[in-house]
C-alpha cells in the first residue's frame, strides 16, 4: 500500500476546521471559490477550487459513479489526472426515525477502475468507510475526500488515513554469531516521532533479511532515553521505507519518510529529522530464519537493541548465539529498492588464494 492522501471538503467557512485539517496533516482542502486567501493565511496546504492550486475540470475531475457508462467515462479521464467521486447519495428516510446516510460508491466499479492504475479519490464520512476504501484490491484508492461535521470527527478521520499502512509479517530468527568487525561509519536516524519499547526500524545487510532495531526508548543508567532515535547500523545497510521500498541508510535525508515497525507488525510512517553519521566500533550479527540467513553491522554499545519475540528490547552487548529475535524475511530480491521476482542473493564464498 502506498502513502494515502487525505483531502477535506469544507462547504461552510470554519477557521477551526481549517486549522484542524492543517494540524493533523491533511493534504488538500476542497473549498468554494473565494476562500483561497483566508486558507493560505492559516498555513500552507493545497487548495482545490475554481481559484485554487488545483482546478476542478482541469487538474482534478469530480465525477459520478453509478453506472457502467460512468465507469467508462472515468476510465477515459484517469490518464489526464486524479478523479474524485462526487458525494451524491442523500440520507435514506425509512420512516422509522432519523435518515441513514448511504455510501455513495460501490466496491466492484472501483476495483475495475483501480485495475487501470489511475489516481482515484472517494468520499468518506466514517472510519469504516476509510478502512474499506484503503483496502480495495489490497492497495486501496489513492486517497479520500473527508466530509466531517466537527473538528473532533475531522481529526479522527484524517489520522485514520495517515496511520494506514500495511503490517509487516515479522518472524522469529535465531542468532548464529556475534563478533567484532572493526571501526565503521554508523547511522543514527533521528525521526520526528516518539517511539516506545518494541518499536523501531527494519534494517539489514541484504534486501531479503531485515532485523527489527529498536529505538533508544528504554531507560538505562548511562544515557537519557532518546525515543525519537534509532541507532540503525552501518552506512551501507538497507532500511525499509513506505510503499514496500528500501533505501540505504546513508542516503536518507531530512524530510524523508521511513517505516516505523512495532513488534506485532503494525507500522506507521515517520519523518526523518536528521542523520548522525559517526565512526564507531561495530559488531557483526548473523542470524537464521529457516533456510534464510542474514546479517547486520551495529555499533558496539549497550543502547543498541534488537527485539525478542515478545517485543522486549534485547541489548546487543547481551546478545548470544541461540537467542530468538524478530526479523522480516523476504524471498524475492529488489531493484533500486523495489521488490522484484528475480535471483538476487548474498552469499559468503570461501576465500580463494590470491584474493
pLDDT at position 31 is 97
pLDDT at position 90 is 53
Residue 135 or 306, more confident: 306
Any bridge partners for residue 262, and if so which? 199
Residue 301 or 105, more confident: 301
The H-or-E segment that residue 278 falls in is: strand 267-289
Confidence band for 134, pLDDT divided at 50, 70 and 90: confident
- What pTM did the predictor assign? 0.70
Mean pLDDT of 113-133: 90
Confidence band for 72, pLDDT divided at 50, 70 and 90: very high
pLDDT at position 320 is 96
pLDDT at position 224 is 87
Mean pLDDT of 246-250: 96
Residue 230 or 159, more confident: 230
Residue 96 in contact with residue 61, Cβ under 8 Å?
A: no
3-state secondary structure 37-88: HHHHHHCCCEEECCCCCECECCCEEEECCCCHHHHHHHHHHHHHCCEEECCC
Mean pLDDT of 116-125: 91
pLDDT at position 177 is 97
Amino acid at each position: 500500500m502506498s502513502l494515502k492522501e487525505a483531502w477535506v471538503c469544507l462547504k461552510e467557512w470554519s477557521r477551526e476546521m481549517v486549522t484542524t485539517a492543517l494540524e493533523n496533516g491533511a493534504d488538500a482542502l476542497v473549498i468554494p471559490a473565494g476562500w483561497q486567501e483566508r486558507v493560505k493565511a492559516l498555513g500552507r496546504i493545497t487548495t482545490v477550487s475554481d481559484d485554487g492550486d488545483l482546478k476542478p475540470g482541469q487538474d482534478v475531475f469530480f465525477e459520478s459513479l453509478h453506472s457502467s457508462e460512468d465507469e467508462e467515462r472515468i476510465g477515459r479521464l484517469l490518464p489526464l489526472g486524479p478523479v474524485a467521486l462526487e458525494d451524491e447519495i442523500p440520507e435514506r428516510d425509512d420512516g422509522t426515525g432519523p435518515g441513514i446516510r448511504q455510501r455513495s460508491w460501490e466496491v466492484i466499479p472501483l476495483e475495475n477502475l483501480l485495475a487501470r492504475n489511475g489516481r482515484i479519490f472517494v468520499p468518506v464520512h466514517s472510519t469504516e468507510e476509510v478502512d474499506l476504501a484503503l483496502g480495495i484490491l489490497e492497495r486501496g484508492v489513492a486517497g479520500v475526500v473527508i466530509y466531517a461535521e466537527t473538528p473532533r470527527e475531522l481529526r479522527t478521520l484524517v489520522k485514520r488515513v495517515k496511520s494506514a499502512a500495511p503490517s509487516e509479517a515479522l518472524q522469529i530468527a535465531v542468532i548464529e554469531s556475534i563478533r567484532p568487525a572493526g571501526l565503521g561509519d554508523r547511522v543514527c536516524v533521528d525521526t520526528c516521532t516518539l517511539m516506545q519499547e518494541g518499536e523501531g526500524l527494519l534494517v539489514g545487510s541484504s534486501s531479503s533479511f531485515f532485523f527489527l532495531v529498536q529505538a533508544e526508548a528504554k531507560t538505562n543508567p548511562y544515557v537519557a532515553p532518546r525515543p525519537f532515535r534509532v541507532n540503525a547500523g552501518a552506512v551501507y545497510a538497507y532500511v525499509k521505507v513506505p510503499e514496500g521500498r528500501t533505501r540505504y541508510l546513508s542516503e536518507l535525508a531530512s524530510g524523508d519518510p521511513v517505516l516505523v515497525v512495532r513488534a506485532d507488525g503494525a507500522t506507521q510512517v515517520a519523518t526523518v529529522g536528521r542523520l548522525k553519521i559517526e565512526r564507531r566500533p561495530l559488531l557483526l550479527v548473523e542470524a537464521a530464519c529457516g533456510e534464510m540467513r542474514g546479517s547486520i553491522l551495529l555499533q558496539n554499545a549497550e543502547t543498541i537493541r534488537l527485539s525478542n519475540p515478545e517485543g522486549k528490547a534485547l541489548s546487543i552487548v547481551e546478545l548470544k548465539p541461540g537467542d530468538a529475535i524478530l526479523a522480516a524475511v523476504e524471498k524475492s530480491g529488489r531493484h533500486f529498492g523495489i521488490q522484484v521476482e528475480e535471483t538476487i542473493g548474498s552469499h559468503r564464498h570461501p576465500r580463494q588464494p590470491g584474493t
